């Protein structure tokens, strides 16, 4: 999978160079815009602290007590039969419900197993390639007062399922 790792390596630098050159061409005050956007980044980082503290504490209590092992062992035979590492199951389950909670689970997996482990990579791709269906649904439909969702939830959750499957297959294939 040489081309994919090459793409991973080159995409970000090329994109940055392109954006910067384009802004010079369009005579945008690049540095000022950068600072303006950067401030937003600080705000986001601070605003996710409570989410992460809440989730990480709950997960570590769940794990340190032996409860996680109990449930993981319960589902392990079934999941390993279809090639899913049991460690990512809690992440896959919470991903459609809360992005920040999933972020907590992902960092927990990475700190336990290592960022470059198979499970660590799978958790990374899983987090990046699926979205918080329930949140998006609630916010978007809630904001404009849609009461009958039709097939939206079914379609969204099925799409998530495909995303999870795609992440597992792609990671198994590439790494």
The helix/strand/coil state of 65 is coil
CB of 26 to other proteins, least distance (A): 4
If the CB atoms of residues 80 and 142 are measured against other proteins, the closer one turns out to be 142
The whole-angstrom separation of Cα 93 and Cα 66 is: 19
Kindly tell me which of 18 and 78 has the beta carbon lying closer to other proteins.
Answer: 18
Helix axes 49-64, 30-47, angle to 10 degrees: 40
Minimum distance from residue 30 beta carbon to other proteins (Å):
5
Nearer to other proteins, 78 or 174 (CB): 174
Tell me how far, at minimum, the Cβ of 77 lies from other proteins, in Å. 21
- Contacts of 89 by beta carbon, 8 Å cutoff, 6+ apart: 72, 75, 79
Please check whether residue 76 is in contact with residue 62, taking contact to mean a CB–CB distance below 8 angstroms: no
């Amino acid at each position: 999978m040489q081309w994919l790792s090459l793409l991973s390596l080159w995409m970000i630098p090329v994109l940055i160079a392109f954006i910067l050159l384009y802004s010079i061409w369009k005579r945008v005050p690049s540095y000022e815009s950068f600072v303006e956007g950067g401030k937003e980044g600080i705000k986001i980082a601070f605003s996710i602290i409570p989410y992460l503290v809440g989730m990480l504490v709950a997960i570590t209590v769940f794990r340190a007590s032996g409860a996680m092992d109990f449930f993981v062992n319960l589902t392990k035979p079934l999941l390993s039969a279809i090639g899913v590492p049991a460690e990512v199951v809690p992440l896959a389950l919470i991903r459609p419900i809360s992005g920040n909670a999933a972020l907590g689970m992902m960092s927990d997996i990475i700190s336990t197993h290592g960022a470059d482990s198979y499970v660590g990579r799978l958790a990374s791709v899983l987090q990046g390639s699926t979205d918080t269906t329930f949140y998006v649904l609630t916010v978007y439909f809630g904001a404009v007062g849609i009461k009958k969702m039709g097939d939206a939830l079914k379609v969204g959750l099925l799409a998530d399922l495909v995303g999870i499957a795609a992440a597992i297959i792609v990671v198994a294939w590439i790494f």
